[in-house]
Amino acid sequence: MDNIRPRATSLPPSLPAVRKVTVTPTVQQSVSRSSSQPPAQPDQELSKLGKKRRISESEPPDAKSQQQVKKPRKQDAGEPLPKKSDSQASKQDNRRPSVDQKPSAVQTKNSKQEPISSKISKGEQSPNIGKTPKSPTASARKTPKSWPASVGKQKVKGLSNPSQWCYRRSVLQSLIALPQLFNLLDESHKSCPKQGRCVTCAMRQLLTAYHTSPGSVGSQLSALDGAIRATGRSSEPRWSAISQTQEDSHDFLQYLLGTIEKAKGVDKDQFSSLFRIKHKISWVCDGCKKVHTHSDPPGFSLSLPIPNRSGVSLTDCLNTYHRESNVTIRCDKCKKNAKRTRIFKLDNAPDVLPIQLMRFGYGARGPTKNKQHVDFPEELDLSPWALDQSQPSKYRLQAIVAHSGSLKFGHYIAYVRGPDGIKEISDSSVSPSNAKEWRRPTSGFNPYILVYIKQ
């Protein structure tokens, strides 16, 4: 069975830079890392939102589009399972159950993490528990964390939006603000035979022009859109949304990073040390006391459920993500199905950490958006959730992708940390912001993707 934990994806709307469009978003039904299907083609109409932000509106998505997302794993506790080896059983267990489809139903009974060692005696612990295995990226060449001299003073520019692609523009701004990505592409993807048809080439040229030229980057941005249009449907990973459709910014982020990772000349270990996140999973059988451990497939981001209570913090979301209760798993030793508690420990802390706050799901009346405020810090320490707490895991907030509206209308913007402070970027418009506003944006915008960089 494929070793992938379901993650919820969402498909909020986005708008063009100069005209109003309607939206038919796709809503996730489970927690999934895979991209959702593109929504229906939007209709055209006009309206305005304060501070020149555009909002679109349309009919809710049809039932078919809602069912296109992968269903969550479901296992009947009473159904006997075939006999498997311990490694095979571990793989079958390595799918996370979906968060309750209603955002209001996400609950955390105990936000404090209980170490797995508290449930078993020392003599019964696996010799691998508490030890950090050698990471495949441990010997990877380190990418510089500062801007090169060729860039000089970092620049912040708007990006024109000729279509309904604010979901792209906001993600691009969050990536453009990363010196690590600039340095990686600047030194690893210099020659490519697929000129005009290579997304990574176009991304590299956009980064170079953005930070080294005084003018606009319209031609480089058009070249990137053209490369996506020419190769997206056949590339791996694929991106079928190449026309005037509205998509989820997190899905686009996954596609873009996956494409760059597979590009010729990009050092895979070096890329993994920048973006790949990996967890070690442990659970204990209450009957025979056997401790089971296995690795979670690495991903590009953390997709965190939002607990349904007031005063939610990012710490609450991280606690919910890293501890799963009432998961029906079969123990390979005693051959019994029972509800277990799985503990997730961070095994590899990358240099760049995107965090998705899962705001889109199903409510009592159908698809809905969770607009609840989540308090998140400028400085984030991941050591409480790390397998090896002695390793450096302190991060600083570098960029935010925020969404305004609901499943019927909306718009994406970005906040980035620049050389002259924090900037709010809405397509081609750039305006000054501050630390207070980007952590709790005004005018109805909800932070959706938080991009942290390791210090």
Mapping DSSP to helix (H, G, I), strand (E, B) and coil, where does residue 304 land?
Answer: strand
Residue 270 has pLDDT above 90, yes or no: yes
Mean pLDDT of 20-48: 37
Q: How far apart are CA 97 and CA 333, in angstroms?
A: 23
Q: Is the dihedral of CA 130, 280, 270, 398 positive or negative?
A: negative
pLDDT, position 313: 97
Residue 85 has pLDDT above 70, yes or no: no
pLDDT band for position 416 (cuts 50, 70, 90): very high
Q: How far apart are CA 139 and CA 135, in angstroms?
A: 8
Residue 445 has pLDDT above 90, yes or no: yes
Residue 53 has pLDDT above 80, yes or no: no
Mean pLDDT of 139-145: 78
CATH number for 153-269 (one of 3.20.20.70, 3.30.70.100, 3.90.70.10, 3.40.120.10): it is 3.90.70.10
Tell me the sheet residues that pair with 90: none
Helix (H) or strand (E) holding 455: none
Helix (H) or strand (E) holding 167: helix 166-176
What are the structural domain ranges in the chain?
153-269
The residue type at 9: T
Mean pLDDT of 314-329: 91
pLDDT band for position 28 (cuts 50, 70, 90): very low
Which is more confident, 41 or 455? Answer: 455
Mean pLDDT of 42-56: 37
Mean pLDDT of 105-121: 38
Mean pLDDT of 278-302: 89
- pTM for this structure? 0.71
What six digits make up the tokens of 441? Answer: 């944006």
Q: What is the pLDDT of residues 206-215, one digit of tens each?
A: 999 999 988 8
Residue 166 has pLDDT above 90, yes or no: yes
CB 274 within 8 A of CB 350: yes
Q: How far apart are CA 336 and CA 180, in angstroms?
A: 48
Cβ count near 109 (within 10 Å): 8
Residue 397 has pLDDT above 80, yes or no: yes
Q: How far apart are CA 94 and CA 99, in angstroms?
A: 15
Q: Are strands 366-369 and 421-426 parallel, antiparallel or unpaired?
A: unpaired
In terms of Cα–Cα distance, which of 46, 36, 38 is closest to 15? 46
E-assigned strand segments in 261-409: 278-284, 291-295, 302-304, 323-330, 337-348, 352-357, 360-363, 366-369, 379-381, 394-405
